[in-house]
Amino acid sequence: MQELLALQSDFPGRLRNIPDIPRAIYLLGRLPEEEEVTVGIIGARDGTGYGKAIARRLAGELSQYGIGIVSGMAYGIDTAAHEGALSAGGKTYAVLGSGADICYPAANRTIYEKIKESGGIISEYAPGSPPLPHHFVERNRLLAGLSDVLIVIEAKERSGTFITVDRALEQGKQVFAVPGRITDPLSKGCNKLLQEGASLCLSTNDILRCFSIEEKETERVRVQKLPKEERAIYQALGEEGKDMNALVRELKIPINKLYALLLNMEISGYCEVFGNTYHRRTF
């Protein structure tokens, strides 16, 4: 584990200009390069299947452009964002509210280990520090500081997510929000942000335009290149994914053939297995 002191030359420039600069940060893995574009993705710990699917999709697509994904490794939207970046072979960074050597939540051990390899685990708290409630409030300024822009996906009207939003705005960062249904409690926070002037995020292109990055081949074009049966499977999976039995019933494809088609789609990067028989899109 590295300890980077604020007085040292190797302390990250992104954190030198934030309010209340930490005395030191502790690092497992690496920090984003100074010239690396980074996007923070945050949201509800109890995010819906739809919200988590959007987080995976945005993180995965942004990763294809070499953009680093920053989040807090909490349950829900944070975890989904890290998963999306990792599935795309991208770089992702987790800012923790505990010591960098403590995986919290413990159930995220697999993701924690992968993040160390793909990007970095970052904390201002000394090794062994427990995940105390006030740590999560304090670490939000670091999460915002390491992100060039911030995307909020699902948040209640009164949500801790707004602490990170406030820190990002204080630091002059652009904040995006993904809209949702007006009757959904987890959409009220994002809809309120949009009402108050946050930028609208409907697709990856909204983020790419911030950095003047040209769009690659669109995902729609990639899907159109699929053979007819595989394209039908991709469409049937929807944003949240489905299990094998549901796909068999919907598509009327024999299960052995369906398994072979899904395997080919996995190899080609169109879907992934989640659980024993559950499949979901990778973008």
Over residues 64-82, the pLDDT tens digits come to 899 999 999 999 999 999 9
All domains of the chain, ordered by start, with CATH?
Answer: 2-211 (3.40.50.450), 219-281 (1.10.10)
Does the CA dihedral 9-12-13-16 come out positive or negative?
negative
**Which range, of 83-97, 104-118, 208-222, 234-248, averages the lowest pLDDT?**
208-222
Query: For residue range 234-273, what is the model confidence (pLDDT) as tens digits?
Result: 989 988 889 888 999 999 999 999 989 998 888 878 888 8
pLDDT in tens, 2-30: 999 998 888 999 999 898 999 999 999 99
Yes or no: say if 167 and 14 are a contact pair by the CB < 8 Å rule. no
Residue 274 confidence class, pLDDT cut points 50, 70, 90: confident
Q: Spell out the residues 6+ positions from residue 283 whose beta carbon is closer than 8 angstroms to its own.
A: 57, 60, 61, 88, 219, 222, 270
Rounded Cα distance, 242 and 221, in Å? 23
For residue 135, give both structure tokens: 């740590």
* pLDDT tens per residue across span 180-214: 999 999 999 999 999 999 999 999 999 999 888 87
pLDDT greater than 90 at residue 217: no
- pLDDT greater than 70 at residue 220: no
Amino acid at 13: G
Residue 221 has pLDDT above 80, yes or no: no
Percent of the chain with pLDDT strictly greater than 70:
97
Rg (CA), the chain: 19
Mean pLDDT for the chain overall: 91
Q: Are strands 24-29 and 2-5 parallel, antiparallel or unpaired?
A: antiparallel
